[in-house]
Structure 1
Amino acid sequence: MLSNFEFVHPQWFWLFLLVPLLAVWYFFKRNKQTASLKISSTKGFKARGNWLAKLRPLMFILRLLALSAIIVALSRPRTVDETTRTVSNKGIDIVMAIDVSASMLARDLKPNRLEALKEVAARFIRDRVTDRIGLVEYAGESFTKTPLTSDKNIVLSSLKSITYNTIIEGGTAIGSGLATAVNRLKESRAKSKVIILLTDGVNNTGFIDPKIASELAVEFGIKVYTIGLGTNGMAQSPIGIRPDGGFQYGMQKVEIDESLLKEIAKTTNGKYFRATSNTKLEAIYKEINDLEKTDIEEFKYTNYNELFRPWVLLALGLLGIELLLRYTLFRSFV
């Protein structure tokens, strides 16, 4: 409740140090505040308590309270209500082309390449709040998993459902995967169009040459970030299928056509990355996230409700009561 409450000039609170000093001063001077009469003896007078004399300090208390109210008013208390409106000028359209060939089940990333990618890509998608994102799967052939959409729940659900399957033709058709992604972006009117192409192999199948697909990307003003996924050297990869249908693993040499991926990135004014671990993969997506920024304008509207006026009125009221008492009940004729 107090999070939107503030004092504009809190330095005036130092004046509260005067309050105890004034109270001490009054304590020592209280007997000199009224007229006194000295006589030799009071035996002839009947003793009777005077309640007005006991209440006289009330006027000084009222004055101290009025002073305190004035100090609070000088500190200018107020409440602040702030509303924010965020406007995105033009978003970015991003298509993530993901290799789903059997080699993506290699265990050099934990738990395997495909699952590591899905985990990192999900965080990337959540960060792209104002952008449209689509998904393309490819192995020996390619297809659109999710068209461009701003509904992140749909994209995240589609990403989660990506698994290796035998329905898609085997192999790695980088050209087909890139061409399908270009096809999803060619009609886009976004200020920036981006493809994140990820593979862990070499282009060994498909009907479209990756170089032709990259030239198509250039023609439609699409930037391609390429990622080679896999450790250097050997990796535990699927080498066969057991009788129960599960994969048999063995050590195989990691082969990634880095020269091709670098050429695609260079041709389209993108950038090539090599992800050899989960940490490196996460850093790559963070770098891409930082490179591709969406223009966002944030408008803040602030409403101030000034609260000093009630304190001023309270101080005037207390002083008025003090003056009224001084010239009525506590009026002195001496």
Structure 2
Amino acid sequence: MWSFASPLVFLLLPLPLIAMRLLPGSRAVTGALKVPATIADHLPKAATDGVRVRARRALPLLLWLSLVTAIAGPQKLEAVEALPVTGRDLVLAVDLSGSMEKEDFSLDGKTVSRLQAVKTVAKDFVKRRAGDRIGLVLFAEDAYVAAPLTFDVAAVARAIDEATIGISGRSTAIAGGLGLAVKRLSKSDARSRVVVLLSDGSDTSGTVEPRDAAGLAKRLGITVHTIALGPIDLETRPKDRNAVDTATLRAVADMSGGQSFRVRDTADLEAVTAEIDRLEASGFDAPPATIRRDYWPYPATLALALSICLIVSRRAL
């Protein structure tokens, strides 16, 4: 549907005619001067082409009409496909302890550290979350917010890529990372609030138990999915310092109504993120949105072209 932002501007259209009538010295003066033929032969020949004369006279009128139309702001309302907005806030909490340096994962035929494998898969996971607000919490001995909740999934992916082991200590504070993620989501009014917690160890730092943080998440209506990363777990090798505490991570997920996953290699990690994608599906069929497209540059460009033609035609006289 076409419309004008300021239709009253068209009241200015008769302004040049009014000015010609009212302003002193604005009326055209016509006359003729008879000169000898010898002099007349050296004078510029007057334009005899009627079409060119009428066109030259019409240029100022067309110029004024174009300017007024541009100022009036022609616009059109158009229906476009709306961006998917899920109404979901999701915080990814990633373990950044020293054990994440351990190189026991295979990626594209090469042995890589646990952190490198997580970065690769997590970045892809985040980029597929269009329509969700995504946040990132990194934790080791301490926890900190690496990316606040945002629709800019590319920025969150960059924050994941820039994560460095040692910046917040080397021990593992699972409760601290989960607690900070829950705290961030507690202020959200999204209809769905989710934490995806990934750790490759056991809670060795902090004064709060991971189960207590999970209980708080449950009371706030926040779902926690956990990922236990690493080939060794405490249930089978309780004295191994590099073993992941699968029992605690499973309990955290169960208490909050989420699911717990076990990851032993990169293939498992990719399968888990695909499964979480299905659990927390992103996007929905939104009705088309109506946007306004401005078309004033077109009459403005025409006015500029007419101004140039008017200047050139007057210099040619």
Fold equivalence (TM over 0.5): yes
Aligned to 1:264: 252
Q: What is the identity, as a one-letter code, of the residue corresponding to 1:214?
A: A
Alpha-carbon contact 1:233-1:253 (below 8 Å) kept = no
Aligned to 1:204: 204
Q: What is the identity, as a one-letter code, of the residue corresponding to 1:270?
A: G
* TM-score computed with the length of structure 2 as normaliser: 0.60
Q: How many residues align?
A: 202
Alpha-carbon contact 1:89-1:297 (below 8 Å) kept = no
Q: What stretches of structure 2 of length at least 5 have no aligned partner?
A: 1-78, 107-111, 235-239, 290-317
Q: For residues 104 and 206 of structure 1, what CA distance do their matches in structure 2 show?
A: 19
Q: For residues 170 and 197 of structure 2, what CA distance do their matches in structure 1 show?
A: 18
C-alpha change, 1:97 and 1:233, in structure 2 (3 Å) is closer
Q: For residues 190 and 272 of structure 1, what CA distance do their matches in structure 2 show?
A: 23
In the TM superposition, what whole-angstrom CA distance separates every residue of 1:133-154 from its partner, at most 9, and x where no partner exists? 0110111111111110111221
Q: For residues 233 and 134 of structure 2, what CA distance do their matches in structure 1 show?
A: 33
Alpha-carbon contact 2:88-2:133 (below 8 Å) kept = yes
Q: For residues 272 and 119 of structure 2, what CA distance do their matches in structure 1 show?
A: 14
1:98 aligns with 2:98: no
Aligned to 2:265: 277
What is the aligned counterpart of 2:276 among 249, 263, 288?
288
**What RMSD, in angstroms, separates the aligned Cα atoms of the two structures?**
2.3
Aligned to 2:59: none
Aligned to 1:317: none
Alignment map for 1:1-334 (pairs within 5 Å):
85-86=81-82, 88=84, 90-110=86-106, 111-165=112-166, 167-232=167-232, 254-298=242-286
Q: For residues 164 and 255 of structure 1, what CA distance do their matches in structure 2 show?
A: 18
Alpha-carbon contact 1:173-1:204 (below 8 Å) kept = yes
Q: What stretches of structure 1 of length at least 5 have no aligned partner?
A: 1-82, 235-251, 302-334
* TM-score computed with the length of structure 1 as normaliser: 0.57
The offset of 1:87, in angstroms, is: 5.0
C-alpha change, 1:147 and 1:300, in structure 2 (3 Å) is closer
The offset of 1:90, in angstroms, is: 3.7
Give the 3-state SS of the residue equivalent to 2:204 in structure 1: coil
Aligned to 1:23: none
C-alpha change, 1:293 and 1:170, in structure 2 (3 Å) is same
The offset of 1:89, in angstroms, is: 5.5
C-alpha change, 1:89 and 1:142, in structure 2 (3 Å) is closer
Q: What is the identity, as a one-letter code, of the residue corresponding to 1:105?
A: E
In the TM superposition, what whole-angstrom CA distance separates every residue of 1:159-189 from its partner, at most 9, and x where no partner exists? 1100112x42331111111000001100111
Q: What is the identity, as a one-letter code, of the residue corresponding to 1:150?
A: F
The offset of 1:222, in angstroms, is: 0.5
In the TM superposition, what whole-angstrom CA distance separates every residue of 1:173-220 from its partner, at most 9, and x where no partner exists? 111110000011001111111101111001111122211111111121
Q: For residues 154 and 83 of structure 2, what CA distance do their matches in structure 1 show?
A: 21
Alpha-carbon contact 1:87-1:296 (below 8 Å) kept = no
C-alpha change, 1:153 and 1:295, in structure 2 (3 Å) is closer
Q: For residues 123 and 102 of structure 1, what CA distance do their matches in structure 2 show?
A: 23
Q: What is the identity, as a one-letter code, of the residue corresponding to 1:159?
A: I
C-alpha change, 1:175 and 1:295, in structure 2 (3 Å) is same
The offset of 1:225, in angstroms, is: 0.5
Alpha-carbon contact 1:136-1:142 (below 8 Å) kept = yes
Percent of aligned pairs with the same amino acid = 36
Q: What is the identity, as a one-letter code, of the residue corresponding to 2:265?
A: S
Q: Displaced runs of 4+ in structure 1, greater than 3 A?
A: 86-90, 298-301
The offset of 1:115, in angstroms, is: 0.7
